[in-house]
Structure formats: structure tokens, C-alpha cells
Structure 1
Amino acid sequence: MTQARKTLIVIAGPTAVGKTALSIAVAQQYHTAVISADSRQCYKEMSIGTAKPAQEELSAVPHYFINSHSIQEEVNAGMYEQLALGYCAEIFAQQDVAVVCGGTGLYIKALCEGIDEMPSVERSIEKGIQAEFETKGLEWLQQRMQEQDPAFYAQAEQQNHSRLIRALAFIESTGTSILHYRSNTVKERPFNIIKIGLDLPREVLYHRINRRVDMMMEQGLMNEIEILYPYRQLKNLQTVGYQEFYEQDTWPLSSSALAAAVDKVKQHSRNYAKRQLTWFRKDKGYSWFAPDEMQQVLDYIRQSL
């Protein structure tokens, strides 16, 4: 079979919906491997807080882009595009199907459609903005972004400080809005793509998210947070599940501060799930299923191949 007839099966959706279990089942059905499309599970040091698959799940089928990098390395969508295309080529050399599983929409888009090459950002500028944000807060960052790049700000996730910092650093480094490099030109890929989205009723999904955070705490998330405390200023730790603990006023955390951090993780995880669904719903190429509709998913894949 030529590579042009190979097929990439994408399984996407919000956090805690059940992507991992379904992707493993599909990979087992087709005797193939899973490529993660999660921007945090690639980091070796971040396991519990990223809901990384358990060891038995990782052993069930081959996995790519999990535990592949250190938190001190920078990984972005452009890098992921090249890495994931390499993983696909490796899998397709042996199998006709590969599975991608994850909730990082930009990474999935980069693999399926390509991403525009962009000039590099001055790290000193980005670090300076990060330092000012930590001192002056989100409102200052939003105002600065609106002044520097109103077009980007109008369509940005205005509560997502990491993306605002990156976009602000980009325009201050290059003098050009990051929007200038979003041509939306879709690159042709030498394989077919089947996109499957998973969703649940909102109240069910939110209950699963809250329960997952509780389970993380039971599994030792606080120990992981403490081990990574010396690295808390790294951009890769400025993410849901970690930053909420490091933002507290006291350290070690008091019982009240710990409870407040856990509540924030739940809230921010629910907010993130909502943004993920908004992103994936914009792509009309997805067919949507509940995570327990295994047979329906397999039937749909079979019909689409």
C-alpha cells in the first residue's frame, strides 16, 4: 500500500472526556501506535498534573510524544508538526493506520494542515513581559496587548495570559502582528485523515473534571508540585494544574491555600474544556461521538477507510 493511501485517525476532545481509552482501543483494533497531541504530556517531569496515561495504558500500544522532552526544553506547534510527521512516517512504514490522540487543537491543526513559519521571538523581551505580568497582573497585560495589537486582542482568549504574553512578545520582537503569519493555507498531506470528536453533556463532563482533580490529589499531585517548585518560573509550568499552586501567597501551602488552589484547578480545567470544545467545533471535519460509543466509532472508521 502506498503512503497516499495511509490513514491518520484523529481522536480529539476536551480534557477528561475519555480520549485515551478510546484511542488505545482503536489502535489495538488496527495493530498500530498512538501519537499524542497533548502539549504537556511530552514533559517527563509532569505526569500526575497532566493526566498522563498510566503505565499499563502506555504498555498496551506504542506511544509517541509522551515523556519525550524535559520541562526545560521549548516545544511549540511548529516543532510538533515536524516531529509528528516523522512519527507518522515511521508508523506508516509498518502499518496502514496511525492514531492521534489529544486535546491541543493547535498541535492537531499543525499536523493535519501545517502551520505557517514565523520569525523567532526575542527571549529577553518575552522574559521581560513575563516579569511585568507577574508584578502588574492580567489587567495590565490585557491593556498592553490591546494597545499594541488590537486586531489580535479582539479575537484572543483574553484570560489566557500565556498566549497574550507570546503574542505581545511577538509584535514587540518583530514589529508585526502574529495574525500576519496566519495565512490558513492548508498543506497537502500524503495520507487520509479521519477526525473523531468526543463530547459529553456539560454537567457530566464537569463532574468528570472535578473528580479527576480529586484523583490527582489522591495520587500524589502535591508531591509532584513540591518537587517542581524550584522550576516554577519555567513557561512549561505556567499551565493549568501547576500554576494554581505556585500562585498562592504562602509556601509551603496552608490547608486553606491548598483548598483554594485545588478549587482553582477545577475551575480552570472546566474553562479549558470549554475553550477546547469551541476550537474543535469550528472544524466541520469532525464527526462527534460519546466516549463509550466504541462500536459506533469503529463502524464509522471502517466506513470511512
Structure 2
Amino acid sequence: MLSFAIIVAIDCTMMSKYLIAIVGPTAIGKTALSIKLANYFNTEIISADSRQFYREMSIGTAAPTKTELASAPHHFIHHKSIEDNYSVGAFERDAIAQLDQLFKTRPVVIMVGGSGLYVDAVTKGLDEFPEVNPKIRPDLNEKLQSEGLEALQFQLKQLDTKAYETIAIDNPHRVIRALEVSISSGKPYSSFLTSETKQRTFETITIGVTADRELIYDRINNRVDVMIKDGLVDEVEALLPKKQLNALNTVAYKELFNVLEGEWDLEFAISEIKKNTRRFAKRQLTWFKRNKDTLWFDTETDINQVIEAIELAIKA
């Protein structure tokens, strides 16, 4: 069997293009798998992790280490500042442009990430949403300030249970977006997540990585402990003056802001980070399991079995 490390020498303009998308919950081992596959296929990696875009956020986002980044070429890691306004639509545009360049010389490219909406933006394209009443968002922002995120979450749960269970519910921007579409249209936000897949110049093979829930939770808890040991509190403290930025309203950062402002003690914050990350992992799995074509593997699966499944899918 010829490996793609050899096949890559063939004129890529005559070959089909394949994007290998690696998905799964946080702390499951997606980064390690992506590097192994990138090395095997002699290719590069596109990151679709929306928190790892920002250069000021490294420890708390579990961004690839310098060693990992040196093991294979990566794109969309720390390429933005937390002060940049970078949307999923902008990422779709940038990622497709990058893929177009990579596919000129490589028949296979790897994409890895736990941000389901960003993965779907590349593989399927963004859904078309209706025009919204511009007066709705200011009202929702005011409610966020006066009543807190929980009030908006409760409102969304009443209007659209499916969206409540699948979107990044701890991200106020996402919650407000879902609410303004639901309120303005009179239809659930999730009902608009059904548009036809956009035409792409490549085929996608999605590899899901998972494990028993207990193991996933153990990995998450251990990762948080390592983050704290590696200096997460110092990283967050340096960002405290900019805590209002949307990029920083995310797990690990918002809990430690409460510590630094004297509202919580560190032990309680760590327990909340672990709890909220476990909830995030559950939502990630709910999102990714919607794709019935995903090839799922246990995190302990031998890499050769994963490669064999990919090559069989390419030949199919």
C-alpha cells in the first residue's frame, strides 16, 4: 500500500483533495492525533479552535506547545489578538483561502478543533439567517448587564431548547445571537441550521475521538491542574484590565477573574473551571454526533487503525 507521503509527489492538480477533520471533546487528544496524521500524510494543519486564535491566551486554551507546533506546520494558532474582532464568517473565508493554497501542492490537509461551528463553517459553509430587528440586540445587552448571563440562557431555553443544548451556552455573544434571531424571526434559531452544504473543492473525512465519560472527565480535571501549575493565574492576571473583551469571556479566564477581583477563592475557582469544562465537553459531543458520517475512534486506538480507515475512505 502506497502511503500519501509517496503519492504526494504526483501532480496534485490531477488528484482529488481531502480534508481530514479531527473533532471531539476537549482534552481527548486531538492535537496529538493531528500531528501524527500530518506527519504521515506529509501535510499541514488548520486549527479550528476559536479560543486558540488569540496570542494572549495560551495556557488557558491548551494551545499546542512550541514542540508540537514545530512537529508539523500549523495555521490559525495565535494569529489574532484578543482585541481583534474576528468572526466565524471571517474564519471561513480565511480558512478556505488557506486550503486553496495548500491543496495546490498537497492532496490531503488536516483540520483539528473542538469549536463545532468553526469546523462546520469550513466543511459545510455557514447557514443563511434572516435579517434581524436592530433594536433587539441593545435590549439583550442591557438584560445581560442587569440580570446576568443566566437570565439570557433561561430565555433561550424557553425559546429554543435545541440551540440551548448545542451552542456555546457560556458565551454571551452566541447566546445573544441565537436569541435575536429567534425573537426577530419568531422561529427557533436552530431551525435555520439546515441549509444545504456549500460546494467545496475538496472532500471531507471526519474523524471523531472519544472515550468513556469517566476518562474524559479525568483528562479534563488533570488538564486544569496542569494549567494552574503552568502559570494560568499569572496569564489571566495580565489580561485582567481587558476582561470585558468577548474573547476573554470563556472558561478558565472568567472564573479566575473572580479570584483576582476578590469574589472567589482559588480552590473554588478551580472546581468551577473543571465543572464548566466538563459541561463544555458534553456540548461538544452533542454537536459533533449530529454528523452521522463521522468515523469515531477511542482515544487509545492505534494510529495505524485510524490511518487505515482514512485510506479506505479515500479509496471508496
Distance 1:7 1:232, change over 3 A: same
CA 144–202 in structure 1, closer or farther in 2 if over 3 Å, else same? closer
How is 1:133-282 mapped onto 2 (pairs within 5 angstroms)?
Answer: 133-142=144-153, 144-145=155-156, 150=159, 153-157=160-164, 159-160=169-170, 162=172, 163-170=174-181, 178-179=189-190, 181-246=192-257, 248=258, 251-253=260-262, 257-282=265-290
Q: Which amino acid aligns with 2:20?
A: I
Query: Any unmatched runs of 5+ in structure 1?
Result: none
Instruction: Tell me, in whole angstroms, the C-alpha distance in 2 between the residues paired with 1:234 and 1:123.
Output: 22
Tell me how far apart the structure 1 counterparts of residues 31 and 218 of structure 2 sit (CA, whole Å).
18
Instruction: Provide the residue aligned with 1:96 in structure 2.
Output: 107
Matched, 1:286 2:297: no
Q: Shift of residue 55 of structure 1?
A: 0.5
Cα distance, 1:220 vs structure 2: 0.4
Distance in structure 2 (CA, Å) of the matches to 1:58 and 1:218 = 21
Which stretches in structure 2 are left out of the alignment for 5+ residues?
1-11
The 3 A distance-change label for structure 1 pair 287 and 132 is same
Identify which range, 65-74 or 51-60, moves more after superposition.
Answer: 65-74
What is the deviation of 1:175?
Answer: 5.8
Q: SS of 1:17's equivalent?
A: coil
Residue number in structure 1 paired with 2:88: 77
Cα drift, residue 181 of structure 1: 4.3
The residue type equivalent to 1:59 in the other structure is A
Mapped partners of 2:157, 2:22: distance in 1:
35
Matched, 1:297 2:310: no
CA contact 1:37–1:107 (8 Å) conserved in 2: yes
**TM-score, scaled to structure 2:** 0.85
Is 1:37–2:37 an aligned residue pair? no
RMSD: 2.5
- Name the counterpart of 2:7: none
Moved more, 257-266 or 133-142: 133-142
Q: Deviations over 1:150-188 (max 9, x none)?
A: 2xx23222654523222234567x666545643421112
Offset from partner CA, 1:67-93 (integer Å, 9 cap, x none): 111111222222221111111111111
Normalised by the length of structure 1, the TM-score is 0.88
Q: State the 1:40 CA deviation.
A: 0.6
**Whole-Å Cα distance in 2 between the matches of residues 154 and 15 of structure 1?**
23
Q: Verify the 8 A CA contact 1:3 1:190 in the aligned structure 2.
A: no
Instruction: Tell me the alpha carbon deviations over residues 98-145 of structure 1, each in whole angstroms, 9 at most, x when there is no partner.
Output: 000011111111111111244787999646634532431244324554
* Partner AA of 2:299 in structure 1: P
Q: Identity of counterpart residues, as a percentage?
A: 39
| Preserved contact between residue 240 and residue 268 of structure 1 (Cα < 8 Å) | yes
Superimposed CA distance per residue, residues 236-280 of structure 1 (whole angstroms, 9 cap, x where no aligned partner): 11111111122x2x64548x6111111111001111111111111
